[in-house]
Amino acid sequence: MNVIYATLGFLGVYAYVSFASLLWGGIDRKLVARMQRRVGPPLFQPFYDFLKLVSKESIIPRDANRLFELSPVFALAASITLLAYTPLGFEPLFGTKGDVILFVYLLTTIGFLRVLGAVSSGSPYAQLGAQREMIILASREAPMMLGLFTILWRLKELGVTKPFSMGTFYEHNIWELGTPLSLIGTLILLFVFMAWLASEIEVGFFDIPEAETELAEGTMAEYSGRHLALFELANAIKAFVSASLVVVVFFPWGISQYLGLTGLPAMAIELLFHTLKVFVVLFVSMSVFRAVTGRLRITQAVGMFWTRLLPASIVGAILLAIDALGVIV
């Protein structure tokens, strides 16, 4: 019975996140337009785009193999699966101990499937984009994983029921420590996570694999119709999920206890509040970042990950570790 309820809840979450993430796409475009003194598209523009793409003919290049058609489906499947392990204001539906590795794995898989799809198209533009995506993929996850695992390890020390699971953050959060050292470490990691988020959703500095003006859409160059729609939806969900990770690591506070709600209404209100936080995080990391910065070259971006963000992440992790050891009180 539990499994059935969980599955129903999962479907509900999927429907909700699909809606919310596409809606955010519209809000983002509107906001960026306003920043540049344009009127911008209507809020529901991504929905129209999606529907139009679905109804259009999908063109399969002559040199493409089967994975070209399969990888958008797999990418969407991976992002839907990811929702089962994403904290959305309440503990993930299928959360269990150690599920953080599954979370990172699935998140990376979506990027990797984009690469596979692009390589399978046989187009040199897409292949160039795929190579760049692969390089970025290999570079960007290290700082994030270091930060995430450090924080989870630190929270485990405080005593949690399911160590190294995404639900952990609702039992304790990293600000609770309150010591100056942990505060500095956490702020550094927050910076790393915001930069990671920008690169995960490929905006601003990190709009490299798609690089519209330079590489003619890069990885997505050959996709059209349904297949592109699936990828767009998967990307939108991925953006929402990535931002959810940042929200849950750094801003996991809920509001239901203040409103005196329990049960299903509490979950609903938490979900809405979580969505609001996700939008705020995405506003900073996506809209503002996208509007005020240009694209980096691939070498610069990789250099940034390995020489700026990874060291920052290491420093943050060391500060948290020193704090845990209690050397400096």
Partner 1 sequence: MNVLPFMIIIPLLGAFATPIVGLAGRRAREAWAVLVSGATLGVAGKVLYDLWSTGKVLVYTLGARSPLGEGGFPIRIVWELDLLSGIMAFTIAFVAFLAIVYSLEYMSHDTGLEKYYTLALILELGMLGIVMTGDLFNFYVFLEIMSIASYALVAFRNDTWEGIEAGIKYMFVGSLASSFILLGIALLYGEYGTLTMAYLAKLMGENFTLTAKIALALLMGGLLFKSGAVPVHMWLADAHPAAPSSISAMLSGLVIKAGGLYVMARIAFSVFGLGVNLKTLGWVIILFACLTLIVGNAMAIVQTDMKRLFAFSSVGQVGYILLGFGIGLAAYGTDVGRVATAGAIYHIVNHALMKALLFMVAGAILHQVGSKNLNELSGLARTMPKTTAALIVGSAAIIGLPPLNGFAGKWLIYESSALFNPFLAAIAIIGTAFCTAAYIRVLYTFLGRPSERVMGAKEPGNAMLVPMFILVVAIIVMGLFPWAISEKVMVPAASMLANIKGYITAVLGGA
Residue numbers of the site for partner 1 (CB under 8 A)? 63-67, 102, 105, 116, 119-120, 122-124, 127, 134
- Closest to partner 1 by CB, 71 vs 186, is 71
Nearer to partner 1, 64 or 255 (CB): 64
**Strands (DSSP E) along 15-155, which ranges?**
none
Closest to 174 in 3D by CA, of 190, 163, 196: 190
Torsion sign (Cα): 74, 80, 83, 84:
negative
CB closer to partner 1 out of 269 and 318? 318
Q: Whose Cβ is closer to partner 1: residue 47's or residue 105's? A: 105
From the CB of 93, what's the least distance to partner 1, in Å?
Answer: 18
User: Which of 163, 12, 155, 173 has the alpha carbon at shortest distance from 99?
Assistant: 163
Residue 219 DSSP SS3: helix
Rounded Cα distance, 144 and 226, in Å: 32
* Smallest separation (angstroms) from partner 1 to the CB of 92: 17
Q: What is the smallest separation between the CB atom of 274 and partner 1, expressed in angstroms?
A: 27
Q: What's the closest the beta carbon of residue 223 comes to partner 1, in angstroms? A: 15
Q: How far apart are CA 125 and CA 209, in angstroms?
A: 10
Q: How far is the CB of 142 from partner 1 (least distance, A)?
A: 11
The smaller minimum CB distance to partner 1, of residues 41 and 122, is found at: 122
Compute the Cα dihedral for 15, 149, 102, 204 and give only its sign.
positive
